[in-house]
Amino acid sequence: MAEALDPAVSKDIDRLAEQVLREACDRHLKLATAESCTGGLLASLLTDLPGLSHAFERGFVVYTHEAKHEMLGVPQGVLDNDGAVSERCARAMAEGAIAHSKADLAVSITGFAEGGPGQPAGLVHFACARHGSPTAHRKETFGDVGRAEVRLRALKTALEMLREKLIPAADAV
């Protein structure tokens, strides 16, 4: 069980994180994260599993527009026109994490954990990039389930995306 996040992280999320890390280790691949609304929770989870955390290369916690632009190279036009919670931003974050690290795969998470004017609670965009592969995108609408629940559901979705990029379809059967 992930020590620092126990008992907040469910056993299925913990098992999924372990599976992702094992696959990355077995394939000698490095992982990176680019997180906004999860504030580094995924990076914390991936570095909390003994004997497997060496597959994690680095994490970017980019909560502001400036951080997304400066640390990951998200184009200012994407932030100004599409917003930080958008497909284009999520894709740029994941691709920026690959470009600004030595990772082979990167996943990004950007969303609204809580609602506000023009900000639907629980709307989260994800992207997963891997060298030599098209960047995958997923949009989830978790609803107004509370900040903690949105963040936990986001962890699970991001881990599922990493697993899908790690295990080629032919190997998954």
Domain boundaries, the chain: 11-144+154-172
Question: Does pTM top 0.95 for this prediction?
Answer: no
Predicted confidence band of residue 173 (pLDDT cuts 50, 70, 90): very low
When pLDDT is averaged across residues 164-173 and rounded to a whole number, the result is 69
Token code pair at residue 123: 């709307």
Are the beta carbons of 155 and 42 closer than 8 angstroms?
A: yes
The pLDDT tens digits of the residues spanning 29-59 come to 999 999 999 999 999 999 998 899 999 999 9
**For position 33, what pLDDT does the model report?**
98
| CATH number for the domain whose boundaries are 11-144+154-172 | 3.90.950.20
In the numeric block, which tokens belong to residue 173? Answer: 């059967």
> What per-residue confidence (pLDDT) applies to 8?
78
Taking 3-state DSSP, the helix, strand and coil percentages for the chain, each rounded to the nearest 5, stand at 45, 20, 35
HSE of 165, CA atoms in CB hemisphere, 13 A = 29
